[in-house]
Amino acid sequence: MRTHAWRQDGFTLVELVVVIVLVGIVGAFVSMQLGPSIQAYRAIAQRAALTDRAETALRRIATEVRSAVPNSLRQISPQCVELVPTIDGGRLRGGPDVANPAAPGVFLDQFTASTQFDVLTSFTNPVSAGDLVVIGNQNTDDLYNGLTVATIGAVEKTPGAGTGEHRITLTQARTLPQGYDGGRFVVVPAAQQSVAFVCTGVESGVGRLLRITRNALSSAPSCPADTLATAAVLATGVSHCAFSYAPNLGATQESGFLQLQLTLREGGESVPLTLGAHVDNLP
């Protein structure tokens, strides 16, 4: 009887150890070559994300500044500014329609206080009772003290197409400011009569940029507390924040300039960003 010897193929322990060592050497070499590139890519991606977050927050502020009530922006501290937002506006009737004596319309003038006026333009956004009307505001003190502000009691359609689009009834009688020209007015929402942008906790390096609203105008400048339920977080990881407002840009007070500086830090990366916004102070 003949017997056959079966040969088993495979790796010896020595061969396996050699392969493992070679793979480790190759892996270490590859990681040394690719590691810095991967880390640089991650750092670039993180800085890009931080830049996008900072730019989004600052552009949000700039957009609201440009649409705010004229002469409403005031700087309370290097890390806090306040403004009065608007939701709409239009042109009011400042005198009777002499071309249509049968339906002259209801108007505001500088001589007789009135509780009603016709709006000659249509509204883009809803305007309702409780909202505020601001006419001819020339400075922040008049606005925050309520001298150029009136509360809307009712908004309705005008009786005839020739008298305008809407008729607004105020809760108190008003006259046009002296020297006022243009017939423009703006509407402030009742629930957000002022908006403050505040940086808190910056000293710790992990501060926040907040948007805080109030449903009333305060004559005394003060930064709202960040504990209010209305606070919206615009940015986190704030390590530097500075606002600088020049209300008189040039020879007139028709425009100002707000400079916003914001630095965000996260994961060992830091991104500083500066944005400027022109402020329209022409009532």
| Ordered alpha helix ranges (H), 100-167 | 140-144
For residue 5, count CB atoms less than 10 angstroms from its CB and return exposed for 0-12, middle for 13-18, buried for 19 or more: exposed
Tokens of 208: 């926040």
Instruction: State which residues form the domain around 250.
Output: 50-84+192-280
Nearest partner of 144 among 194, 185, 180, judged by Cα:
194
In a domain, 29, yes or no: no
Q: Which parts of the chain are beta strand (E)?
A: 74-77, 80-83, 88-91, 114-119, 132-134, 149-157, 166-174, 184-188, 194-200, 207-214, 232-246, 255-266, 269-280
| Mean pLDDT of all residues belonging to the chain | 86
Name the band, by pLDDT with cuts 50, 70 and 90, for residue 100. Answer: confident
Can you name the residues that pair with 110 across neighbouring β-strands? Answer: none
% of the chain surpassing 90 pLDDT: 51
The radius of gyration of the chain's CA atoms, rounded to the nearest angstrom, is 32
Regarding whether 183 and 239 lie in a shared domain, the answer is no
Regarding whether 200 and 181 lie in a shared domain, the answer is no
In a domain, 120, yes or no: yes
- Asked which of 188, 205, 224 is the last residue of a domain, the reply is 188
Cβ within 8 Å of residue 173, ≥6 positions away: 113, 114, 115
Regarding whether 100 and 140 lie in a shared domain, the answer is yes
Regarding whether 275 and 205 lie in a shared domain, the answer is yes
Q: Residue 119 has what pLDDT? A: 93
For 205-256, write each residue's pLDDT tens digit: 789 999 999 999 999 888 877 666 668 999 999 999 999 999 876 555 678 8
Kindly compute the dihedral angle of the four CA atoms of residues 228, 210, 42, 24, in this order, to the nearest 10 degrees. -30
Regarding whether 184 and 222 lie in a shared domain, the answer is no
Cβ within 8 Å of residue 268, ≥6 positions away: none
Identify the weakest region by mean pLDDT among 63-67, 99-103, 147-151. Answer: 99-103
Cβ within 8 Å of residue 218, ≥6 positions away: 144, 194
Q: Cα dist. 184→32, 125, 282 in Å?
A: 67, 16, 10
In a domain, 22, yes or no: no
- Asked which of 169, 188, 207 is the last residue of a domain, the reply is 188
Q: What is the mean pLDDT of residues 122-132?
A: 94
For residue 271, count CB atoms less than 10 angstroms from its CB and return exposed for 0-12, middle for 13-18, buried for 19 or more: buried
- Asked which of 168, 188, 208 is the last residue of a domain, the reply is 188
In a domain, 42, yes or no: no
Where is pLDDT greater, at 21 or 174?
174
Q: What's the pTM?
A: 0.81
Regarding whether 213 and 171 lie in a shared domain, the answer is no
In a domain, 55, yes or no: yes
How many structural domains is the chain composed of?
2
